[in-house]
Amino acid sequence: MFTGIVEERGRIVDVHLDGAQAGADAGSARLTVFGPKVTSDVGHGDSIAVSGVCLTVVGRDGDRFTVDVMAETLRRTTVGALSAGDAVNLERSVTPTTRLGGHIVQGHVDGTGIVVQRTRHPGYDEIRIRTSTELARYLAAKGSVAVDGISLTVIDVVDLIAGDGGPGGVEFTIGIIPETRTATTLGDAQIGTVVNLEVDVMAKYAERLLTAGSAGLENVHERGETA
């Protein structure tokens, strides 16, 4: 588990692909990542969030660590597009004594979004992100979302109308302060940048409970029983 408070900006040192295809089409990959702070106490088997993706450390060499990435992760996240030299956000998993400064982040990416607008204001930037209809129901104004592993508050949500050439889906806005701009990859994210998204886990569990409860009641009514 993570908090969404990025500890440092790391850098991809090497990407070794296993399979004939490159990037998201590869069978699997092994990444070597430079991150002096997160490697200071990391051990084999520990978890580190790499731009929001929870990955297991399989090796360490000084200020670098190595992780294995399976095909599913390459397809569903931006990890499949990483190459040597790319910057990534890094966070070690929480401990029982860690402050929960952001929100509960699992490192299980739900999908990706694309930056469609960026507006600079005195003291902060607003970034507008477009994502799929599937994730729209988990996004709410003043709710939480992790963008490339960064715990952020949703400012607003706008549903897009599909058809007539429109993209459909949803757009939501987040704001970043100068510290976030300096310390994370969102500081460099321009229009067209693809980002990893993890919605609030509480929203997913609430939906599951409501769906399961409704299904149970329907079964009771179909049997003619009294709920």
Q: Which of 65-79, 114-128, 148-162, 212-226 has the lowest mean pLDDT?
A: 212-226
Is 217 within a domain? no
| Structure confidence at residue 30 (pLDDT) | 95
Same domain, 88 and 116: no
Q: Is the pLDDT of residue 162 over 80?
A: no
For residue 185 the two structure tokens come to 């990859």
pTM of this structure:
0.86
Q: What is the pLDDT of residue 209?
A: 85
pLDDT tens for 27-65 read 899 999 999 999 999 999 999 999 999 999 999 999 999
Which backbone phi and psi does 13 adopt, to 5 degrees?
Answer: -95, -40
Number of domains in the chain: 2
Contacts of 184 (CB under 8 A, 6+ apart): 6, 9, 89, 148, 150, 176
| Spatial contact of 203 and 143, defined as CB atoms under 8 Å apart | yes
Q: What pLDDT was estimated at residue 227?
A: 44
**Domain residues for 70?**
8-92
In this prediction, residues 11-22 reach a mean pLDDT of 80
Quick one: 191 and 138 in the same domain? yes
Question: What band does 226 get if pLDDT is binned at 50, 70 and 90?
Answer: very low
Contact 145, 197 (CB under 8 A): yes
Average pLDDT over residues 139-155: 96
